[in-house]
A and B are shown apart, each in its own frame.
Chain A
Amino acid sequence: MTGTAAQVRFLLVRNLREGVRNPVLAYGLPVVIPLAMLVLVATTLSRVTDLPGFPTDNYAEWMAPAIIMLSAMTGVGYAATSLVVDIQSGFLDRLRLLDAKPSALLLSRLLFDVVRVLPAGAALLVVAVLLGTDLKEGVLGIVVLFLLLFLWAAAYGGLYFVIALTTRNAQAPLALAPLFLPLQFLSTQFVPRTILPGWVQGVSAWNPFTYMVDAARALTTGPLTLAPVAKAVAVALGLLVVTQVASRWAFDRAVDSH
């Protein structure tokens, strides 16, 4: 019997191929909203930087690292929806009868959610540089930034697996995709913590996205310190573990009981 790693590979190839044949949803969605937001915000709200205490005079530079992390959230749910479609169509039963392991089925889908943020993140990085973002922390910062982006995509995407598998409704992840909107506003994406109203400062400390934004800035525009990166990795890993345990539980129930 094939090992789990090999099965993940076969099934991931299937998902990647599907993505190429359905490129708008698979690869377009993660990039479209962040790209529009970066360009629009940088041009229309450029004077935000005049606020007292704002750390930079280029608003695009302030927004770019946060928006790269956002690309893991705007197109979220594609893999989770595909998994529910597989369950509903009976294709998942077929894969299980062909010895596919539950862990391979879940992991191959989750990894696809990770892979699809790569082109989005890269495109956003290029645009950020074009808009004058100074990548002070260099290549190392960018490499770690992308590793964190992948981890965040897996952790945040996992939430949508739980939603999809619990409701067994292929539309549910789509309906809950706008969750990124409040998470954005309740984080340090738009302005530094000190400028946020007091209650939002409090909420933002409980918002995992805040930690991604802070780490992304440390890794790109600097200054790079260990603390924000370590915190972000810990938060994303924690969310990943919780969502993976929950989605495995929901998966077993979804394929077992009917």
Chain B
Amino acid sequence: MTLTTPFDAAIEVHELAKRYEPAGVDALVDVSFSVGHGEIFGLLGRNGAGKSTTVRILTTLLRPSGGSAKVQGMDIVADPGGVRRALGVALQGAALDELMTGREHLVLAGRLVSLDAGAARSRAAELLDTFGLSGAADRIAARYSGGMRRRLDVAMAMVRDPPVLFLDEPTTGLDPQSRRALWDLIRRYRQQGAAVFLTTQYLAEADELADRVAIVHEGRIVALGTPADLKDRFGATTIRLRCPAPDAEAQIQALAGADAAQRDDAGWIVLAVGGGEAAVPDLVGRLTASGPAIERLAVVPPTLEDVFVTLTGTGVEAGSGSADDTSLSAVRRGMGVSTGGGR
């Protein structure tokens, strides 16, 4: 891998648009962002929001209807061959040949990208080892578990040691253990200076793995920043309280001036803090000084899910868009009512 690179950014996207004809559906509208080397960039969105369209365009499989994009300084439309040679790609759904073994997949990939027979074999062995597939190397893909398929899929993307890696929903359908293992591999790859572009519909994944996140909704990027930054800007901190007094809820609401104190089924009072974490000490001070007796108190930091709900109107997996606002979402989260996946 070349660590010293003349390109400012690994991926530069400028007002990218995709309109599907003849239906006239706008899949992407003026999407702009850039991804640096040594960065994991997460594109977060619901199914159909435009994630895969973005990936297919940036990997040269689909032509954009407008705007421009460069990968490693090469234009995706003018030089698709050059772009492909800089890319490792694992598309959605782990496309494998059911009748080929893991090793055969990797050797074929190596040969196609111009490794000689010996180099292709040793690269395959190395990747099988890295991805924990050595034991299953000579089994056909049809007998692989979902997690093994995904790992082989990502391993294939890494055959040419690309400076830019695209992973389209790499952990969908994986159990938590396999997911963490894959996260570790992706982080290690970033450590080598690669740019990693991943799409996900798991909010926790974007939060934990991505250095920066873009939220895409109906083909537009509605927010872009580090997870912490997004949570600061669009999230809400909540306080959970347990109070014996039956009317504690109303007292707290009056004191806090918050409009979203509710009592959940388990008896906790959940309160959204308008001013974020900075406002918590003062609020707790007021509550303990003049509020009802408090048995227990917990502060719950904002999550990307709140951000997502704020910006898109619904949870990641919810279908219709009732316009919940941030604090209500936060309250529901505090109450253990999930508005979507990725918790």
State the A residues within 8 Å of B (CB).
Answer: 1-2, 6-7, 10-11, 14, 17-18, 21-22, 86, 89-91, 93-100, 256, 258
B99→A90 contact, CB < 8 A: no
Smallest beta-carbon distance B80→chain A, Å: 10
B112→A7 contact, CB < 8 A: yes
Within 8 A of A (CB), among B89-148: 89, 91-93, 95-97, 99-100, 104, 108-109, 111-114, 140
List the 10 closest pairs (A to B, CB-CB), nearest first. Answer: A90-B95, A98-B112, A91-B95, A10-B111, A21-B99, A18-B99, A97-B89, A89-B95, A2-B114, A98-B109
Count chain B CB atoms within 10 A of each CB in A86, A97, A100 and give the residue with the most: A97
B111→A2 contact, CB < 8 A: yes
Q: Which residues of the partner chain A approach B95 to less than 8 Å between Cβ atoms?
A: 89-91, 93-94
B91→A93 contact, CB < 8 A: yes
Partner of B104, one of A17, A100, A258: A17
* Residue ID in chain B nearest A95 by CB atoms: B112
Partner of A90, one of B91, B108, B114: B91
Q: Which residues of the partner chain A approach B194 to less than 8 Å between Cβ atoms?
A: none
Smallest beta-carbon distance B10→chain A, Å: 17
- Contact (A91, B85) CB under 8 Å given A2-B111, A7-B112, A99-B113: no
Q: How many residue pairs bridge A and B at CB < 8 Å? A: 67
State in angstroms the CA–CA spacing of A69 and B114 once bound together: 38
Smallest beta-carbon distance B189→chain A, Å: 17
B108→A10 contact, CB < 8 A: yes
User: Is B61 close to A, CB under 8 A?
Assistant: yes
State in angstroms the CA–CA spacing of A86 and B85 once bound together: 21
**Would you call the interface of chain B mostly helix, strand, loop, or mixed?**
loop
Name 7 interchain pairs, CB-CB below 8 A, sorted by A. Answer: A7-B112, A17-B99, A89-B93, A90-B91, A90-B92, A93-B91, A94-B91
A99→B96 contact, CB < 8 A: no
* Residue ID in chain A nearest B153 by CB atoms: A94
State in angstroms the CA–CA spacing of A17 and B100 once bound together: 8
Q: Which residues of the partner chain A approach B156 to less than 8 Å between Cβ atoms?
A: 94
Q: Which residues of the partner chain B approach A99 to less than 8 Å between Cβ atoms?
A: 81, 84-85, 112-114
B97→A91 contact, CB < 8 A: yes
Smallest beta-carbon distance A256→chain B, Å: 8
B140→A21 contact, CB < 8 A: yes
State in angstroms the CA–CA spacing of A172 and B137 once bound together: 34
State in angstroms the CA–CA spacing of A208 and B224 once bound together: 63
State the B residues within 8 Å of A (CB).
Answer: 59-63, 81, 84-85, 87, 89, 91-93, 95-97, 99-100, 104, 108-109, 111-114, 140, 156, 159-160
Partner of B93, one of A1, A2, A90, A96: A90
State in angstroms the CA–CA spacing of A258 and B89 once bound together: 18
Q: A1-B85, A97-B89 are in contact. List 10 more A-B contacts (CB 8 A).
A: A2-B114, A10-B111, A21-B99, A86-B97, A90-B91, A91-B96, A94-B95, A97-B61, A97-B84, A256-B63
State in angstroms the CA–CA spacing of A93 and B84 once bound together: 11
B59→A97 contact, CB < 8 A: yes
Q: Which residues of the partner chain B approach A2 to less than 8 Å between Cβ atoms?
A: 111-114
Smallest beta-carbon distance B34→chain A, Å: 22
Q: Which residues of the partner chain A approach B108 to less than 8 Å between Cβ atoms?
A: 10-11, 14
* Residue ID in chain A nearest B156 by CB atoms: A94
Q: Which residues of the partner chain A approach B62 to less than 8 Å between Cβ atoms?
A: 258
Q: Which residues of the partner chain B approach A98 to less than 8 Å between Cβ atoms?
A: 109, 112-113, 159-160
Smallest beta-carbon distance B115→chain A, Å: 9
A10→B99 contact, CB < 8 A: no
State in angstroms the CA–CA spacing of A95 and B112 once bound together: 8
State in angstroms the CA–CA spacing of A228 and B252 once bound together: 100
Count chain B CB atoms within 10 A of each CB in A7, A86, A96 and give the residue with the most: A96
* Residue ID in chain B nearest A256 by CB atoms: B63
A14→B97 contact, CB < 8 A: yes
* Residue ID in chain B nearest A90 by CB atoms: B95
Q: Which residues of the partner chain A approach B60 to less than 8 Å between Cβ atoms?
A: 97
State in angstroms the CA–CA spacing of A98 and B91 once bound together: 13
Q: Which residues of the partner chain B approach A95 to less than 8 Å between Cβ atoms?
A: 112
- Contact (A94, B100) CB under 8 Å given A2-B112, A2-B114, A7-B112: no
State in angstroms the CA–CA spacing of A7 and B112 once bound together: 6
Q: Which residues of the partner chain B approach A22 to less than 8 Å between Cβ atoms?
A: 99
* Residue ID in chain B nearest A97 by CB atoms: B89
* Residue ID in chain A nearest B61 by CB atoms: A93
Smallest beta-carbon distance A41→chain B, Å: 35
A97→B99 contact, CB < 8 A: no
Count chain B CB atoms within 10 A of each CB in A99, A100, A256 and give the residue with the most: A99
Q: Which residues of the partner chain B approach A97 to less than 8 Å between Cβ atoms?
A: 59-61, 84, 87, 89
Smallest beta-carbon distance A75→chain B, Å: 18
Q: Which residues of the partner chain A approach B96 to less than 8 Å between Cβ atoms?
A: 89, 91
Q: Which residues of the partner chain A approach B100 to less than 8 Å between Cβ atoms?
A: 14, 17-18
Q: Which residues of the partner chain B approach A256 to less than 8 Å between Cβ atoms?
A: 63
Smallest beta-carbon distance A195→chain B, Å: 47
Smallest beta-carbon distance A7→chain B, Å: 6
